[in-house]
Structure 1
Amino acid sequence: MKIDWAALGSVFGVSLVVTVALVGLFTLGIVGLSKKESATRAGGSATLAVSGAYLCFALCTAAVAYGIFLIVA
């Protein structure tokens, strides 16, 4: 049995980058929703922060759905 170390390293690298990007995107969504809370307490509007948060969550959902598609297909 021979292991293709280059392919294994490539899969590891791509998985690491995608995981960090997905966690970062989700974190931006959480931060956007927390800005909404602080703006509401201050009496302002945070529509841009909320829209950005929902966009981040939609991109996370799309990335997870694409990953599931790749597994199933």
Structure 2
Amino acid sequence: MNIDWAALGSVFGVSLVVTVALVTLFTLGIMGLSRRERAASEGGSATLAVTGAYLCFAACAAAVAYGIHLIVA
């Protein structure tokens, strides 16, 4: 049995990068929603932060849907 170490390393590297990117996007979404809460308590508006948060969550959902599509196909 031969193991293609280059392919295994490539899969590991791509998985690591995608995982870090998804966690970062989700974290940015959470931060955007928390800024909305802070702005609401101070009487302001944080529409840009909320829009950015929703875009981050949409990108996370799209990446997860694409991953499921790859697994099923």
Q: Could you tell me the TM-score, scaled by structure 1's length?
A: 0.99
Partner of 1:35: 35
The count of residues paired between Structure 1 and Structure 2 equals: 73
Kindly report structure 1 stretches of 4+ aligned residues shifted beyond 2 Å: none
1:2-27, CA deviations, whole angstroms, 9 ceiling, x for partnerless residues?
Answer: 00000000000000000000000000
Tell me the distance in 1 between the aligned counterparts of 2:24 and 2:56. Answer: 9
Partner of 1:7: 7
The letter for the 2-side match of 1:28 is L
Partner of 1:60: 60
Q: Could you tell me the TM-score, scaled by structure 2's length?
A: 0.99
Partner of 2:19: 19
Flag structure 1 segments of 5+ consecutive residues without an equivalent: none
The letter for the 1-side match of 2:25 is L
Determine helix, strand or coil for the equivalent of 2:2.
coil
Identity %: 82
Tell me the distance in 1 between the aligned counterparts of 2:28 and 2:46. Answer: 14
Tell me the distance in 2 between the aligned counterparts of 1:38 and 1:65. Answer: 31
Tell me the distance in 1 between the aligned counterparts of 2:38 and 2:66. Answer: 34
